[in-house]
Amino acid sequence: MRLDSGAFLFIFAALFLVYSAVPASLKRLLLVVSSVAFYATLSPRFVPLFLGLGVFSFLVGHRIHRETLDPRRDRLLWIGVGANVLALAFFKGASPAAGSLAALGLRSRPELLAVAVPLGMSFYVLQAISYIVDVHRRVYEPPRSLVSFLASFTLFPHLLSGPIVRSSFLVPLVERVDAVSWTTARRALFLFMVGLVEKSIADKLAPAASAAFDARGSISLVQAWTGLLAYAAQLYGDFSGYTDMATALALLLGLDLPPNFDLPYLATSPTDFWRRWHISLSTWLRDYVYLPLGVRFRRRRYVNVMVTWVVAGLWHGASWLFVLYGLYHGVLLAVTDWLSRRYPSDEAPRGVRRVAQTALTFYLVLMGYVLFRARSVRDAVRLFADLHWPRAPSEGSRDAITTGAAALAAIVVCHLLDHAARRWREKLERPWVMWPAMVIAVACLALFGGEAQPFIYFAF
Amino acid sequence: MRAWARFATALRTVSAAALVVFAGGALVRGIGAAFDPFQAYPGHTSDYGVARTRALRAALPGIADHPEKTVIVLGSSGLARAFVPAAFDAALDGGGERYVSFNMAQLLLQPETALAMARVIRGTYEARHRRIGITLFGIAVPDLSRAAVRAARSKMPDQAFAFTSAAGLLDRAHTRPLDAMTDALTYFVFGDVRPERVTLWLEDWARAKRGPCESGVKQPPEGAEAQAQLDAFCTELRRQFPRGVPPYNPAMRGGLDFGLPATRPMLERLVALQADSISTPLPPPSGRIPERDDIDEDAVRALIAAVRELAAVSDHTFVLCDLMNPLLAAPLPPARLAQWRDVAERIAREGGAPLIDPNDGAFGPADFGDRTHLHPLAAERFSSLLAARVKPLLESSRAAR
C-alpha cells in the first residue's frame, strides 16, 4: 500500500479518528499495531524479521544499559550491532552473491541466496544500530516500555524511506504523544499536498529519465543531459515528496519529524550538498561511522571519509556501482575538505562566485547520479561519454530540449514548494490561499498526475 | 485536551481533507462534463471506446424501460460492427412475439467489462421487475488468449471502470480488497470516468485533434476513385454529425452509425472497388503457428459468469461465436480451431445457453472490411441471417415449454 494511494488515505483517515479519541497509552499500542499491519500489506513474510530485529535491539539496549563492566558492554554492543549489520548484509548481499555464484558456475543451491530485500530494512536497521550505540555511549537511556520503543521503531510513515529518526529523538516524542491542534493539522494537510505534488512531478519525469538511462546504445548529447536532468528532478521530487508525506502523516499522529532536505540543488559545495540532501542519512553516517573511525584512526582523516562514503554506497545496495558512487562522493568531500583547509574562508560565497560554485556542485552531483542510476558500470561509462562528447543531434533532440527545460522547471518548482512549505508557511496557510490552492492541486493531480511510479528509495 | 475536543479536531481535519478532495473531484467532473457526451469522430474507433461504454450505461435504463420485449446483444467489436438492430428485428418479426433489439457490443470488450456489464444489466432489469426477451452473448475466443486480454487492458485500462457497480466492487474486494477500495473511492469522487480519460479529452481538444474518418471498408483505400468515394463518405458523415458520430445512437439502437442510407452509394462503390484487394490472401504469418492458444482461464470464467448473470433475467439466452474471416482461419492448425471451438462450447455449456456458430460459409473474405470485421453492408445481411438462425431456436424453445 502506497502512502499516496486512495485506499491508504481512506484507512489512515479512519485510523486518525480512532487514534485521536483514545488515551495516550493506547495511542502507542495503536501505532505499533497499525505500523505492523501497514508493513504486512507490503511485505507480509518479513514481518517476523522486522519485529524480531526491533525486539532484539530493544533487549540488547537494555542489557547494555544495565551492565556496568565496560568489556561486557562492548561485547553486547558488538553483538547488537553485528546482528543488525549481518542481517542487512545478508539480505542486501545474498541476491548479488547468488548472481555471482551462478556466473562462476557454482549453482549448487543458489535459490537459498536468491532472496528479496525486505522493504525498509536499510532504514530500520540504521535506527536499531543508532539506538544500541547511543545506549552504549550513555547518551541515551533506553525506554522502559517495549511498546514505546516499537512505536518509534516501526512508525509507518517513515518506515520505508526514512527520514532515519533515532530512538533518542523519537521515543520521547512517542511517550508524550498527544492529539494535534487544528493549526498543526492544517499544516500537515498542506505539507502532504506539497509531497503529493512533488511525487507527481517526479512520476511525470520518470519516462524521460528511463529513456536516457535504459537506452541500449549511445544517445545524443541533448538527450543524455535531458535524461540526467529529468532523473535529478525525479529523484528529488520522489524522495522529498515521500518525506513530506511521511512528515505530514507523522505530524497528524502528533510526531514532528526532523527535515530531511533543505534545497539541496542550491548547495555551494559537496559538503554543503550533504548538509541539505538526505540529511538524516548523512548525519547518521557522521555520528555512527565517521566519528568513531576518527576516534580510532585519528591521523587518517581522508581514509576515514572514503570508508564512510563506501559504507554509504553499500547501504544503497551491494553493487560495484554503489561502491563507486560512495567512493566518488568520498573523493569529492575529501577534496572539498582539503581545499577549505588550504584556502580558509569564513564568509559564505556571494554573487557570481556563489552562482559558479552552485553550478559546479550541481554538475558534480549530476555526475554522481550517473553512477547511482545506471544499470551497469559499462552503461555508466557510456552515458558519461554521451554527456561530454557531442554527437550529431538525433531526431528526438528537439523534444529532448523541451523535456530538459521541463526537468529544470520541475527542479525549480520542487525547491520552491519545499521553500514555501517551510519558510512561507504562515502566509500560505491563510484559509483563502490554502484551501483553493489545495482544491486546484487535487484537480491537477487527478488530471495530469501521470502514471504512479514506485518510490525510488523503496528499492533501498 | 479532553477526549471529545481531540476527536472534534480530528473530525474537522478529516472533513476538511474530504471536502478538498470532493471539491477537486467536482472540478474534474465539471471539466469532464464539458465534453460529455464526448462524441469521438466517428465514434467507433477504439481510442474512445470508453465513450461507448459510458454511453451504453447511460442508455441502459431506457432500454430496460422499453415497452416491447428487448433483445440485448453483448460482445466484442466483431459483433458491435456486425449487428444492425433494424435488420435483425425485421428478419425476426412474424414469429408471434415482436422484439426490439439493442446493440450493446463494445470494441475491445474485456472479460471483466463483460461481467461488470452483465451485472449492471441484470440489476437494472431486476429493479424494474422486467426480463430481457433474448440475450445474444457474443464471444471471440481468439480474444481470450493471455496476450489479447493483456493488449485490450493496456489499450483501454478504464473500460470496466465505466460499469463499476457495488456488486462488482464487493466481488473484487474478496480477491483484491485494496484495488477495490481505490476503485470505489475514485468512482465516488470522480464518477464513472477516470480522470486520466478526461486528460486525454483535454489534450485532444487542445491539439484540435480529429479522429480518422472510418468507413468500415478497407482503409486506407487503394486507388484514386476509392479515395474520392471515402472523401464523399466522410463529408456526408460530417454533415450528418457535425460533433462526431455519437458512441450510442438511440436512433440506431446502438448499432454503429455509418450514416446510412445517405452513405449507401459511397459504401457500395467502396466495397466494389476494394473487394479484390481484400480477397487477396493474407501474407503467411512469420514463424510457426502454435498448435494451441494460451487461453486465459480467468477470462473464460468471467465470461461464463457473465452469461449466467444475463441468463438469470432473460427468457432466452444464446452464446454466439464471432464470425471469422475465412482468410484468417485457413492457415491455422486444426488443433487450434478445435481448441477455440471447445472453449466456446464450454462457455455456452457452463453458462447454460445454446451455442450459435455463424461460421458456416455464408460469409466470404469479400464481406470483411478489414481482417476481422464485416463491412457495414455485409453487417445488414449478417443480422438478417442471424435472426433466421435464432427464429427456429425460439420456436422450439416455446414448443418445449
Give me the interface pTM, i.e. the ipTM: 0.84
Q: Across the interface, do A189 and B181 touch by the CB < 8 Å criterion?
A: no
Residues of A with CB under 8 A from a CB of B: 1, 5-7, 9-10, 13, 16-17, 19-21, 23, 41, 178-182, 185-186, 188-189, 252, 435, 438-443, 445-449
Question: What's residue B42's pLDDT?
Answer: 44
Distance CA B263, CA B230 (A): 10
Q: Across the interface, do B16 and A186 touch by the CB < 8 Å criterion?
A: yes
Nearest CA-CA distance, residue B167 and chain A, Å: 18
Q: Which fold has domain B35-281+289-400?
A: Rossmann fold (3.40.50)
Break chain B into its structural domains and give their ranges. 35-281+289-400
Contact B245, B257 (CB under 8 A): yes
Closest in A185, A252, A442 to B24, CB measured: A442
Instruction: Please list, residue by residue across A151-181, b when 16 or more beta carbons sit within 10 angstroms of its beta carbon and e when fewer do.
Output: bbbbbbbbbbbbbbbbbbbbbebbbebebbe
Nearest CA-CA distance, residue B175 and chain A, Å: 14
The DSSP call for residue B222 is: P
The answer, for B198 touching chain A at a CB cutoff of 8 Å, is yes
Which residues of A belong to the active site? 316
Distance CA A83, CA A79 (A): 6
Q: Across the interface, do A185 and B9 touch by the CB < 8 Å criterion?
A: yes
Q: Which residues of chain A have pLDDT under 50?
A: none
Q: Across the interface, do B198 and A447 touch by the CB < 8 Å criterion?
A: yes
| Pairing state between β B355-356 and B314-321 | parallel
By CA distance, what is A41's nearest residue in B? B178
Distance CA A288, CA A126 (A): 9
In one letter, which amino acid is B30?
G
Chain B residues in contact with A16 by the CB 8 A cut-off are 10, 13-14
The DSSP call for residue B281 is: P
What are A102-137's pLDDT values in tens digits?
666 665 555 555 567 788 888 999 999 999 999 999
Q: Across the interface, do B178 and A448 touch by the CB < 8 Å criterion?
A: no
Contact A138, A70 (CB under 8 A): no
Distance CA A37, CA A47 (A): 9
Nearest CA-CA distance, residue A4 and chain B, Å: 11
Question: What's residue B128's pLDDT?
Answer: 93
The answer, for B24 touching chain A at a CB cutoff of 8 Å, is yes
Interface of B with A in 168-187 (CB under 8 A): 178-179, 181-182, 185-186
What SS3 state is found at B145?
Answer: strand
Distance CA A267, CA A359 (A): 9
Q: Which residues of chain B have pLDDT under 70?
A: 1-2, 36-49, 94-96, 209-212, 275-291, 401
Q: Which residues fall within 8 angstroms of residue B185, CB to CB, at 6 or more apart?
A: A6, A7, A10
Nearest CA-CA distance, residue B378 and chain A, Å: 41
Question: What's residue B43's pLDDT?
Answer: 40
Closest in A6, A182, A449 to B182, CB measured: A6
Closest in B6, B179, B202 to A20, CB measured: B6
